[in-house]
A and B are shown apart, each in its own frame.
Chain A
Amino acid sequence: MAQAQKQSHYPSQLKEEAEVQRTLSVIVDNEPGVLARVIGLFSGRGYNIDSLTVTETEHEAHISRITIMTTGTPMVIEQIKHQLERLVPVHRVHDLTLEGEPLERELALIKVQGRGEKRIEALRMAEIYRANVIDASTEHFVFEMTGRAREIEQFIVIMSELGMIEMARTGIAAIARGKADV
């Protein structure tokens, strides 16, 4: 099939290039439907969304910042950036990964149920990972953890052995290092 794809008049995505992961910061006018436009672009054109966060960042100016983590070949990533820039309410798009190693953080809320040994172990691990207890009873904890996505993943693996029953994650917020703004 892959061989045949190449034979078609509909060109297959030339996949010679390896895929890369990029964190994009999209500065948009906070008008109705703007998020739908961005998400619709990704679904309509078959791009990947690994993580997406959005909130208004400049209230006076009604400007929101959408942080998108996406994977694709460099050619597709270029397309994604140009397609985003083409949306009318988009002010600008920054490829934070390309511009330097950005600071990326995510928040997770993790509910763990249990008694005895496991409960103590959970609390001990939370300390190591610098997660805070924000709710507790004799039978549960809710941990709040902020960190890199990878650390959160590790923490979740551990907690799932220790009675994790539920979790919520925000997705990644990212910002460039250094004194300049975007």
Chain B
Amino acid sequence: MARTMTGAEMVLKALADQGVEHVFGYPGGAVLPIYDEMFQQDQVQHILVRQEGGAVHAAEGYARSTGKVGVVLVTSGPGATNAVTGLTDALMDSIPLVCITGQVPTHLIGNDAFQECDTVGITRPCTKHNWLIKDVNDIGRVMHEAFYVARSGRPGPVVVDIPKDVQFATGNYVGPANIQHKTYRPKLKPDQPAIREAVEMIAGAKKPIFYTGGGVINAGPKASKLLRELARLTGYPVTSTLMGLGAFPASDKQWLGMLGMHGTYEANLAMHDCDVMVCIGARFDDRITGRLDAFSPGSKKIHIDIDPSSINKNVRVDLPIVGDVAYVLEDLLRVWKSKAPQIDKPALKSWWKEIDGWRAKKSLSYKNSDSVIMPQYAVERLYELTKDRDPYITTEVGQHQMWAAQFFHFDDPNRWMTSGGLGTMGYGLPAAIGAQLAHPDSLVVDIAGDASILMNIQEASTAVQYRLPVKVFILNNQYMGMVRQWQQLLHGNRLSESYTEALPDFVKLAEAYGWKGMYCDNPADLDDAIKEMIDTPEPVIFDCRVANLANCFPMIPSGKAHNEMLLGADISDEDVGKAIGKEGKVLV
């Protein structure tokens, strides 16, 4: 059933038909007709950000904390180019977004018109797909296809570019019911022979490990539940990438902690020494594998992924299974239960004994202090004092991000939002705003760094406008700590430009935006200060002054394998200096 309306009306109608409640955006000349329609309806609420980059990250936080598609609306030219970082971020981390961009009128495209840019050209490599709509009658179809493509298969961002004259034109609107995409049909259900083979391999393992990732979270809460069931049935150890934290409960005794460059000793060693690795919704990223030719040399590998191009990209696997994690785990469990295979209990017992030996290293331990707040301690206390409130945590990028991943523990999916693939500083505050909007009564904390927070600090103003009480907990070490750490490790401790000379007074900065500002530099006061922060109904910037030169350990140094980790506990500066050979230095 087609209905006549203007292009701009169709955009709003399509959003409403898709059940969209919130759009993050920023107006401008080329989207004014859409903004005019926005003004005249009340189904979709518009959240006015302060920079388009903030809109995209906010939509990411919204999407990741709800499982819904995040929606962004920006103008042509600079509006679209400002969105590019966020789109790339969402592509790398598989986050479903629909970004609507205004475009100059059709007859001016290609003329270097005011605020014209080749939006589909610029965003082609950083979206899953994009469209330039030249005929108003296509708006309904394209909008619904856009939502379908963004959320189906491996999720990702899409861009719909709409010239201003097309927004003004009238035509026929097509509703979502009539849309069937011509070509895009991702494979969700796995091949059954592969499932049976997987069950055999898993059951026959002597040193198994489940290596899980963001794909488990993207497959929905059911996938996390099934993962827990599989773990319980087998009794096998579970580790996860940065993106997958929360899919398996950190409080479970089968949990080994995060793996990878800053992962735990036990997780990385178990990956290295296992005989059967079951990769579930992860992609053998280089932060995970370290040196490729030394990556888990003795194991048979099963790889479950919805995206066939993720399989055999970095690491050759023995058994690929293409499908949605939830479907695959469901089938796997069904076959497992009907076959009831015998697992090698004595082997598993001695595998756990080996793992417990690695655990005993306590690779996350650090030297605490009475006089200065250690950043690890700050995150530990934040966790202990907030864990009962089921908080949503976002981060910026740097050491604080890794400490958050190591010391904040997640028992449920969709609670942890961080920029993994792209590593975008400035992600955390807008993402927290998006998460808070979706969960107005929950505690949302951005664990931030002093440098990162300045990259999108303007969004503090957005939080005030929509009364979003987000908490920004800055681990303020006065350095771009992660950069400084690498300079110490790799560049003779020459701290080139990694010290921020003139940091703002964060308390006053908070107050300038209408937030509460807090400060703490004494370990003895920290608990009370954190409690005060979480009990504050307004947004808070908490300037937590931490040890300036702390390093993030454990760490697999450049050029080393998983079993050559650097541990923090008793490492001297000299050891740090020697840890990376000359060859590693050239190439990081």
Contact = CB atoms under 8 A, between A and B. Distances in A.
Interface stretch (B263-271, B274-282, B289-297, B448-456): B289-297
B200 to A, nearest CB: 25
A8 B286 CA distance: 10
A11 B314 contact: yes
Contacts of B583: 3-4, 7
Contacts of A148: none
B424 to A, nearest CB: 19
B558 A33 contact: no
Interface stretch (A49-57, A85-93, A97-105, A161-169): A85-93
A78 interface: yes
Contact of A9 (B120, B128, B588): B588
Given A29-B183, A79-B313, A91-B183, A10 B286 contact: yes
B183 A89 contact: yes
B149 interface: yes
B587 interface: yes
Interface in A30-73: 32-33, 36-37, 40, 44
B316 A75 contact: yes
Interface string A1-25: 0011111111110100000000000
Most chain B C-beta atoms within 10 Å of own C-beta, residue among A5, A7, A78, A82 = A7
Contact of B184 (A8, A79, A83, A88): A88
A163 to B, nearest CB: 42
B128 to A, nearest CB: 7
A7 B558 contact: yes
B124 A33 contact: yes
B587 A40 contact: no
A88 B129 contact: yes
Interface in B387-420: none
B357 interface: no
A36 B118 CA distance: 13
Nearest to B586: A4
B120 A7 contact: no
Bin chain A's interface residue count: 20 to 34
B312 interface: yes
B587 A4 contact: yes
Most chain B C-beta atoms within 10 Å of own C-beta, residue among A3, A40, A88 = A88
B539 to A, nearest CB: 37
Contact of B290 (A5, A9, A36): A9
A29 B128 CA distance: 16
B119 to A, nearest CB: 11
Nearest to B322: A82
A22 to B, nearest CB: 16
Given A82-B308, A86-B309, A6 B293 contact: yes
Contacts of A78: 312
Interface residues of B, number: 37
A11 B290 CA distance: 8
Given A3-B583, A88-B183, A88-B184, A8 B558 contact: yes
Contacts of B313: 79
B304 to A, nearest CB: 15
A90 B584 CA distance: 41
Nearest to B314: A11
Contacts of A44: 125
Interface string A136-154: 0000000000000000000
A24 B263 CA distance: 41
Nearest to B310: A82
A7 B124 contact: no
Nearest to A62: B182
Given A7-B581, A11-B289, A88-B184, A32 B132 contact: yes
A109 to B, nearest CB: 31
Nearest to B127: A88
Contact of B558 (A9, A36, A79, A91): A9
A8 B582 CA distance: 11
Contacts of B293: 6, 14
A10 B587 contact: yes
B50 interface: no
B432 interface: no
A36 B125 CA distance: 10
Contact of B124 (A3, A29, A40): A40
Contact of A29 (B182, B291, B558): B182
A7 B559 contact: yes
A9 B287 CA distance: 7
B273 interface: no
Contacts of A83: 309
B307 interface: yes
A6 B584 CA distance: 9
Interface in B309-341: 309, 311-314, 316
A159 to B, nearest CB: 39
Interface in A153-180: none
A91 B181 CA distance: 11
Interface string B535-573: 000000000000000000000101100000000000000
Most chain B C-beta atoms within 10 Å of own C-beta, residue among A37, A85, A86 = A86
Given A14-B292, A78-B312, A5 B587 contact: yes
A9 B489 CA distance: 14
A113 to B, nearest CB: 39
Given A5-B587, A79-B313, A11 B292 contact: yes
Contacts of B290: 9
Contacts of A29: 182-183
B247 interface: no
Contact of B312 (A37, A75, A87, A90): A75
Contacts of A10: 286, 587-588
A152 B311 CA distance: 38
Contacts of B125: 40, 44
Contacts of B181: 88
Contacts of B556: 9
Given A4-B584, A91-B183, 14 more contacts: A4-B586, A7-B558, A7-B583, A8-B558, A8-B559, A8-B584, A11-B286, A11-B292, A33-B124, A40-B125, A44-B125, A83-B309, A86-B307, A88-B128
20 contacts: A3-B583, A6-B292, A7-B559, A7-B583, A8-B559, A9-B287, A9-B556, A9-B587, A10-B587, A11-B286, A11-B291, A11-B314, A12-B292, A14-B292, A33-B132, A40-B124, A86-B307, A86-B309, A88-B149, A88-B181
Minimum-distance CB pairs A-B, first 9: A7-B559, A82-B309, A8-B587, A88-B129, A11-B292, A4-B583, A7-B583, A82-B308, A88-B184
